[in-house]
Amino acid sequence: MLARNLLPVLGQDPSRSAAPEHRHERHPALEYVEWQGFVRRLREQVEFGYDDAALEGHGRFDVAQVEQSLINLLRNAHESGSPPWQVRLELRRLPEAWRIEVLDRGSGMNEAVLANALLPFYSTKRSGSGLGLALAREIAEAHGGRIALLNRKDGGLCVSMVLPGQA
């Protein structure tokens, strides 16, 4: 339900997504997507580092939804105080899924922020709407996946989105 409420606010068609409890009613528009081309198009919109060798294979997801999620996550990484060259996107093939990680070397999050950051309208930014991370969570869940926020050992944050799919 939340995704259908948030997507119009962000200019997206609510019929293309649904919260997990409504997946049987509306599904993301899944298509096979070649990772190299997808990441190349994503880099045209926001700067980040990545490893070319890790981009082999195909995912199966709604391109517009996952692209919007990753743009939001990458912009958050740039706003974290991280040096721009340390904002990275990493892709890992798991046995039955793909893990997409957005990494930065900003200040990370304290425990209270980590506990609330994925909730709608929660933001620590002065001008933040609190919709970006909540929308990313809803999109991951609508695809049958999940999202997690983890502080990195040497500073910064890792936002990990796992989407089911075959190579």
- Domain hosting residue 88, numbered range: 2-164
Domain count of the fold of the chain: 1
Q: How high is the pLDDT of residue 57? A: 87
Q: Which of 130, 129, 106 is nearest to 118 (CA)?
A: 130
- 31-71 per-position pLDDT tens digit: 999 999 999 999 999 999 998 877 788 999 999 999 999 99
CATH code of the domain in which 31 resides: 3.30.565.10
CB 65 within 8 A of CB 26: no
What mean pLDDT do residues 82-91 have? 95
Which phi and psi angles does 109 have, rounded to 5°?
Answer: -135, 145
